[in-house]
Amino acid sequence: MRLAIARGLDLSFRRARVRGEFGREVGGRFQHITQEIDSDGSAPDEEIGRLCADAEAYCYVHQTLASVVPMTTIVNLNGREVARRTSGPG
């Protein structure tokens, strides 16, 4: 949100959902994490894609988790998907 404000983007964030897929065995762990963000506004799709990439790069939690488990970020604008990024170990 801070990056969107600093860049003067017309965006408001309504909701964020995080889902984790994990192994159901002793010693199991997350196998994939997906975060989906719903927003409203008139910012250009390309700018939202850059915002998504930069927000992930600045986020300590994302950087830590993505170093050990694949993560997908989905950004929806006005009810349609405008950005999808997957990062992970390796």
Residues in the chain: 90
Q: Classify 90 as helix, strand or coil.
A: coil
Q: Is the pTM of this model over 0.85?
A: yes
Q: How far apart are CA 40 and CA 4, in angstroms?
A: 12
Looking up residue 61, the CATH number of its domain turns out to be 3.30.300.20
**Domain extent for 40:** 2-87
pLDDT (tens digit per residue) in 51-62: 999 999 999 999
- Render pLDDT for 5-32 as a digit per residue (tens, 0 to 9): 999 999 999 999 999 999 889 989 999 9
